[in-house]
Protein backbone atom coordinates (compact mmCIF):
# COMPACT_ATOMS: atom_id res chain seq x y z
CA UNK A 1 0.00 0.00 0.00
CA UNK A 2 2.90 2.34 0.77
CA UNK A 3 4.22 1.92 -2.77
CA UNK A 4 0.80 2.81 -4.18
CA UNK A 5 0.57 5.92 -2.01
CA UNK A 6 4.06 7.04 -2.97
CA UNK A 7 3.37 6.37 -6.64
CA UNK A 8 0.16 8.41 -6.42
CA UNK A 9 2.01 11.27 -4.73
CA UNK A 10 4.84 11.14 -7.26
CA UNK A 11 2.57 11.18 -10.30
CA UNK A 12 0.24 13.89 -9.00
CA UNK A 13 3.01 15.97 -7.52
CA UNK A 14 3.84 16.01 -3.82
CA UNK A 15 2.53 19.48 -3.16
CA UNK A 16 -0.76 18.74 -4.91
CA UNK A 17 -1.24 15.49 -2.95
CA UNK A 18 -0.46 17.20 0.35
CA UNK A 19 -2.87 20.04 -0.42
CA UNK A 20 -5.56 17.65 -1.68
CA UNK A 21 -5.60 15.51 1.45
CA UNK A 22 -5.13 18.45 3.82
CA UNK A 23 -8.32 19.86 2.30
CA UNK A 24 -10.07 16.55 2.97
CA UNK A 25 -8.97 16.75 6.62
CA UNK A 26 -10.31 20.30 6.86
CA UNK A 27 -13.64 19.08 5.55
CA UNK A 28 -13.95 15.99 7.76
CA UNK A 29 -12.48 17.34 11.02
CA UNK A 30 -15.40 19.64 11.96
CA UNK A 31 -17.83 16.76 11.53
CA UNK A 32 -15.69 14.48 13.68
CA UNK A 33 -15.44 17.12 16.37
CA UNK A 34 -19.19 17.75 16.26
CA UNK A 35 -19.93 14.04 16.60
CA UNK A 36 -17.43 13.66 19.43
CA UNK A 37 -18.87 16.62 21.34
CA UNK A 38 -22.39 15.26 20.87
CA UNK A 39 -21.32 11.80 22.07
CA UNK A 40 -21.88 10.09 18.74
CA UNK A 41 -18.73 8.06 19.10
CA UNK A 42 -19.25 5.70 16.14
CA UNK A 43 -19.43 8.64 13.75
CA UNK A 44 -16.53 10.36 15.49
CA UNK A 45 -14.44 7.19 15.04
CA UNK A 46 -15.30 7.03 11.34
CA UNK A 47 -14.15 10.64 10.96
CA UNK A 48 -10.98 9.85 12.91
CA UNK A 49 -10.31 6.87 10.63
CA UNK A 50 -10.65 9.07 7.56
CA UNK A 51 -8.34 11.68 9.04
CA UNK A 52 -5.75 8.99 9.83
CA UNK A 53 -5.92 7.70 6.22
CA UNK A 54 -5.54 11.21 4.84
CA UNK A 55 -2.70 11.97 7.25
CA UNK A 56 -0.61 9.04 6.02
CA UNK A 57 -0.73 10.36 2.46
CA UNK A 58 0.26 13.81 3.70
CA UNK A 59 3.14 12.39 5.76
CA UNK A 60 4.57 10.55 2.75
CA UNK A 61 4.15 13.64 0.59
CA UNK A 62 5.86 15.97 3.07
CA UNK A 63 8.67 13.45 3.54
CA UNK A 64 9.25 13.39 -0.21
CA UNK A 65 9.21 17.19 -0.38
CA UNK A 66 11.77 17.41 2.44
CA UNK A 67 13.96 14.85 0.65
CA UNK A 68 13.69 17.01 -2.46
CA UNK A 69 12.41 14.07 -4.50
CA UNK A 70 11.24 14.88 -8.00
CA UNK A 71 7.50 14.50 -8.41
CA UNK A 72 5.15 14.76 -11.32
CA UNK A 73 3.03 17.65 -12.42
CA UNK A 74 -0.75 17.73 -12.83
CA UNK A 75 -0.27 19.16 -16.34
CA UNK A 76 1.49 15.93 -17.37
CA UNK A 77 -1.74 14.01 -16.90
CA UNK A 78 -3.35 16.05 -19.69
CA UNK A 79 -0.44 15.82 -22.13
CA UNK A 80 -0.93 12.85 -24.49
CA UNK A 81 2.78 12.09 -24.87
CA UNK A 82 3.45 12.34 -21.13
CA UNK A 83 0.33 10.28 -20.40
CA UNK A 84 1.55 7.48 -22.71
CA UNK A 85 4.93 7.57 -20.98
CA UNK A 86 3.23 7.35 -17.57
CA UNK A 87 1.12 4.41 -18.80
CA UNK A 88 4.27 2.58 -19.98
CA UNK A 89 6.14 3.20 -16.73
CA UNK A 90 3.14 2.39 -14.51
CA UNK A 91 1.10 -0.37 -16.18
CA UNK A 92 -0.87 -1.06 -12.96
CA UNK A 93 -1.72 2.61 -12.42
CA UNK A 94 -5.45 2.21 -12.99
CA UNK A 95 -5.66 -0.75 -10.61
CA UNK A 96 -3.61 1.08 -7.98
CA UNK A 97 -5.72 4.22 -8.33
CA UNK A 98 -8.94 2.23 -7.97
CA UNK A 99 -7.55 0.47 -4.90
CA UNK A 100 -6.63 3.79 -3.28
CA UNK A 101 -9.96 5.37 -4.16
CA UNK A 102 -11.94 2.42 -2.82
CA UNK A 103 -9.97 2.16 0.42
CA UNK A 104 -10.43 5.87 1.04
CA UNK A 105 -13.95 6.08 -0.31
CA UNK A 106 -15.56 3.25 1.66
CA UNK A 107 -15.07 4.89 5.08
CA UNK A 108 -16.16 8.23 3.62
CA UNK A 109 -19.33 6.72 2.13
CA UNK A 110 -20.05 4.99 5.43
CA UNK A 111 -19.60 8.33 7.19
CA UNK A 112 -21.96 10.10 4.78
CA UNK A 113 -24.61 7.37 4.79
CA UNK A 114 -24.70 7.16 8.58
CA UNK A 115 -24.91 10.95 8.82
CA UNK A 116 -27.82 11.04 6.38
CA UNK A 117 -29.55 8.18 8.14
CA UNK A 118 -29.18 9.78 11.55
CA UNK A 119 -30.39 13.13 10.27
CA UNK A 120 -33.35 11.55 8.49
CA UNK A 121 -34.15 9.24 11.42
CA UNK A 122 -34.09 12.05 13.97
CA UNK A 123 -36.16 14.31 11.73
CA UNK A 124 -38.81 11.63 11.13
CA UNK A 125 -38.83 10.68 14.81
CA UNK A 126 -39.36 14.33 15.78
CA UNK A 127 -42.09 14.70 13.14
CA UNK A 128 -43.89 11.60 14.44
CA UNK A 129 -43.69 12.80 18.03
CA UNK A 130 -45.02 16.20 16.99
CA UNK A 131 -48.03 14.70 15.19
CA UNK A 132 -48.80 12.33 18.04
CA UNK A 133 -49.22 15.24 20.47
CA UNK A 134 -51.70 17.05 18.20
Q: In which band, very low, low, confident or very high, does the pLDDT at 123 lie, cut at 50, 70 and 90?
A: low
Q: Provide CB contacts within 8 A for 73, sequence distance 6+.
A: 13
C-alpha distances in Å from residue 17, one per residue of 48, 55, 67, 90, 117: 19, 11, 16, 18, 31
Between 60 and 120, the more confident residue is 60
Would the pTM count as exceeding 0.85?
A: no
CA-based R_g, the chain, Å: 20
Please tell me the predicted confidence (pLDDT) of residue 42: 83
Q: pLDDT tens digits, residue range 17-39?
A: 899 999 999 999 999 999 999 99
Average pLDDT along the chain: 81
Alpha helices in 67-92 (DSSP H): 80-89
Q: pLDDT tens digits, residue range 55-65?
A: 988 999 999 99
Domains in the chain, number: 1
Residue 47: is its pLDDT beyond 80? yes
- Of residues 101, 109, 112, the one with CA closest to residue 57: 101
Domain that holds residue 46: 2-133
Quick one: angle between helices 41-66 and 93-133, nearest 10? 150
Amino acid sequence: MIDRIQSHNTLNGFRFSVAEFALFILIVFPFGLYYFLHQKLALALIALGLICNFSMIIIFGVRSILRKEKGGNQKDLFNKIKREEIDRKHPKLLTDTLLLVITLLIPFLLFVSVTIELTWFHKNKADKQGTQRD
